[in-house]
A and B are shown apart, each in its own frame.
Chain A
Amino acid sequence: MKIGLFIPCYVNQFYPEVGKATLQLLQKYGEVGYPSGQTCCGQPMANAGCENEGVDALKVFYQQFKDFDYIVAPSASCILHIREHGGKLYKEMKPILHKVLDLTEFLFDVVKEDQLQASFPHKVAIHKSCHGLRGMRLGQCSERVTCDVSKQDELIKQVEGITLIQPQRADECCGFGGTFSVSQPDVSVRMGNDRINDYIQSGAEYITSGDMSCLMHLDGIIQRKKLNIKVIHLAEILAAQLSETPKQTEEHVNAV
């Protein structure tokens, strides 16, 4: 299986650890390639109302990733944009869209991982990013009367020693919203504050998410106010032990 690793632009720039953890996780299932010519998914432009300005980014994406069996990124948000708008904005994308996946989908739906060898003995609240939750249906939304499986919960439950914390509001937006975070800083920061307080009051030590963009926004507030809670990407938790004991990784790869 040839897996193309797509690292969102801001993750590349600011959160290399998320990229490393994702790479380590994916290497269990096949040959992982990271094309160095990749740039961005084009979502910032599209959500700002300039979707055509993002077409060049999609062209680069297509060229870099078209030959992989799967294209995986540690970001529901970027993947959702490509899947929802990629085909309309750049028709050549259409045949590869079904191969473009968020890390959670790849682990849960494709390789059906049920024996993650990871350990993270902490109290963790999952921040359900809106694009993952309502865009990709990675879990149950509080608005809908359905029984969607919460894929991230199922994966994280496999992590040894972890305690999942349930906040008061299970799935409210953090207020990042791309350019919203700078065009409406008052409301955006207020929303972020409210989310963080909810997680702190529920007793979480860590806020995790499949989307680093939400966490970047929340961490910005946490750092400024010096709050007693940390953010960590879901990939880092799912790979928590692997990075410390590479031997175990090899064994697991052999087992698979």
Chain B
Amino acid sequence: MSTQYKTHQEGAKQFNKNPDRVTWHDKALWFVREKRDKSAHSIPEWEELREIASQIKAHSLSNLNGYLMQFEEKAKANGVHVHWAKDAQEHNEIVHSILSKHEVKNVVKSKSMLTEECGLNPYLNDKGIEVVDTDLGERIVQLANEHPSHIVLPAIHKKKEEVGELFHKHLNTEKGASDPTYLTGAAREHLREKFLNADAAITGINFAIAETGGFVVCTNEGNVDMGANLAPVHIACMGIEKLIPKVEHLGVFLRLLARSATGQAITTYSSHFHKPADGKELHIVLVDNGRTEQLGREDFRKSLNCIRCGACMNTCPIYRRSGGHSYTYTIPGPIGAILSPGKDLKKHSSLPFASTLCGSCSDVCPVKIDIHTQLYKWRQLVMKETNYDKSKQIGMKFAGKAMGSPTLFNLIGKMGNIFLKGPRALIYNGLNAWGIDRELPVPTETFDDWYKQNGKKNEQ
């Protein structure tokens, strides 16, 4: 697997060593953001839709226990096997036990960030089971032995020439070929063979409906239908927060999801599943893996509204210029930066700081998650509860004291100005991160000094 950076800063620095790639990555994602804007602005009631979606989510999360029970009851009545997993380990064991029972050797999987979160692929590979990701982007990163760098566009960090090389190596395409139609054709042929030989299909779930016990999976490639309809066993894995109360709520989310994700009016395939076909088995694994804990955190529970559209990544100027792999969590970008500290505050302590708090993520979010406000709140907890950036903590303590005392504050200001007028080498060196690529402002007379001399006169 590709390198996992310790901090966002480390990954971002690495990504920025290639300015052309940054330009390309930024433009590719901005293109999607612009498509999203056009699409959202074509819906006059867009803000109303966001508000309704946010309220449905708040209601569902407040009554999650009841809705989960209702969902289980309905799904079971439909002939679906329902399983509960408290964490990633249990999830993987449950999936494996189902596969073992059916002596499954080959699995096709449609894109599911949950199975990525749980590390299902390496777990099953270790048990001798081949898992093939069937979403094109997911297949690309799988062949490259990397993680997805985006939740909707998993291989957005790869240029078509790089995909061409990868396919030449693994799928015997022509050397140097980079034509997207040609490469997609080759992938289609390769995946078709995998679909036809699969003993089981694993899929994610976009929305599960308590009222019916059914669920919906959205794809643009139809790979969910191919996998689930051909294989004798279908295992669908979902985080418990994916539940919505009724079928009538589905339309709100389907309208918001595709437009926010890619600017499409609707995803090409919104596949509805309710019961197993004759002679086949359908399993649903309901996974907690830290979600109820997040639900218990008042300041952060709204992060569970997320419908995984990726709009916050596309809009985030930091994400676009640091790449998904710079984040230290399965879900990158602004939403990942508020979900991850709840899983492991120490490990992901740099993520809430991977932002300028510009607020674009919150405004673009179709389910109104107050992302930048949560980033601010996580920052306070990181500094209180971890050893992250001790020198900054000491510096801020000192600055805080100075700002509480006008005399000390003025003195430091004057000393600073004297320092800034000093020799250039003393100011611009490795210790001054600002000065690597930027000039510092040149101090003149302070406003305070000017006012003491002239201000009163000016007051007329």
Interface residues of A (CB under 8 A from B): 7, 9-16, 18-20, 23-24, 27, 31-32, 34, 36-40, 42, 44-57, 59-60, 130-131, 134-135, 141-146, 169, 171-173, 175-192, 194, 216-217, 219-221, 223-224
Q: Decide if B403 is an interface residue (CB 8 Å cutoff).
A: yes
Mask: chain B, 388-415; 1 = CB below 8 Å from A; 0 = not: 0100110011011111111001000100
Chain B stretch 346-378: residues in CB contact (< 8 A) with chain A: 352-360, 362-364, 376
Q: Which residues of B contact A184 (CB under 8 A)?
A: 8-9, 12, 318, 353-354
Can you report 10 residue pairs joining A to B where beta carbons are below 8 Å apart?
A13-B416, A14-B441, A42-B403, A48-B379, A142-B37, A144-B363, A179-B353, A182-B434, A183-B9, A184-B318
Q: Which of A27, A40, A175, A181 contacts B434 (CB 8 A)?
A: A181
C-alpha spacing A219/B442, complex, angstroms: 11
Segment at the interface with A among B192-200, B237-245, B450-458: B450-458
Chain B stretch 151-205: residues in CB contact (< 8 A) with chain A: none
Residue of B nearest to A130 (CB): B358
Pair A53/B396 contact, Cβ less than 8 Å:
yes
Mask: chain B, 80-123; 1 = CB below 8 Å from A; 0 = not: 00000000000000000000000000000000000000000000
Distance between B428 CB and nearest chain A CB, rounded to angstroms: 10
Pair B439/A223 contact, Cβ less than 8 Å:
yes
Q: Which of A44, A130, A185 contacts B396 (CB 8 A)?
A: A44
Q: Which residues of A contact B364 (CB under 8 A)?
A: 143
Residue of A nearest to B17 (CB): A186
Pair B452/A36 contact, Cβ less than 8 Å:
yes
Q: Which residues of A contact B359 (CB under 8 A)?
A: 130-131, 134-135
Pair B396/A16 contact, Cβ less than 8 Å:
no
Interface residues of B (CB under 8 A from A): 8-9, 12-13, 16, 19, 22, 26, 30, 37, 40-41, 43-44, 46-47, 315, 317-318, 321-322, 352-360, 362-364, 376, 379-380, 382-384, 389, 392-393, 396-397, 399-406, 409, 413, 416-417, 433-434, 436-448, 450-452, 455, 458-460
C-alpha spacing A52/B379, complex, angstroms: 12
Pair A53/B382 contact, Cβ less than 8 Å:
no
Q: Which residues of B contact A180 (CB under 8 A)?
A: 353, 355-356
Distance between B424 CB and nearest chain A CB, rounded to angstroms: 12
Residue of A nearest to B47 (CB): A145
Pair A190/B47 contact, Cβ less than 8 Å:
no
Distance between B460 CB and nearest chain A CB, rounded to angstroms: 7
Pair B413/A185 contact, Cβ less than 8 Å:
no
Interface of chain B, main secondary structure: helix
Q: Which residues of A contact B459 (CB under 8 A)?
A: 27, 31-32
- Given contact pairs A15-B441, A49-B379, A130-B359, enumerate 4 new A-B contacts (beta carbons under 8 Å): A53-B397, A177-B356, A189-B437, A194-B26
Pair A39/B438 contact, Cβ less than 8 Å:
no
Given the known interface contacts A34-B451, A173-B358, A220-B440, the answer about A185 and B406 at a Cβ–Cβ threshold of 8 Å is: no
Pair B455/A53 contact, Cβ less than 8 Å:
no
Q: Which residues of A contact B355 (CB under 8 A)?
A: 177, 180
Pair A12/B363 contact, Cβ less than 8 Å:
no
Q: Which of B16, B358, B384, B442 contacts A187 (CB 8 A)?
A: B16
C-alpha spacing A47/B309, complex, angstroms: 27
C-alpha spacing A8/B334, complex, angstroms: 29
Pair B357/A130 contact, Cβ less than 8 Å:
yes
Pair B400/A224 contact, Cβ less than 8 Å:
no
Pair B403/A39 contact, Cβ less than 8 Å:
yes
Pair B43/A219 contact, Cβ less than 8 Å:
no
Pair A145/B44 contact, Cβ less than 8 Å:
yes
Distance between A208 CB and nearest chain B CB, rounded to angstroms: 17
Pair B383/A48 contact, Cβ less than 8 Å:
yes
Pair B317/A182 contact, Cβ less than 8 Å:
no
Pair A173/B16 contact, Cβ less than 8 Å:
no
Pair A39/B22 contact, Cβ less than 8 Å:
no
Q: Which residues of B contact A186 (CB under 8 A)?
A: 12-13, 16
Pair A47/B44 contact, Cβ less than 8 Å:
no
Distance between B343 CB and nearest chain A CB, rounded to angstroms: 19
Q: Which residues of B contact A52 (CB under 8 A)?
A: 400
Pair A53/B448 contact, Cβ less than 8 Å:
no
Residue of A nearest to B452 (CB): A36
Q: Which residues of B contact A181 (CB under 8 A)?
A: 433-434
C-alpha spacing A50/B458, complex, angstroms: 38
Pair B392/A12 contact, Cβ less than 8 Å:
no
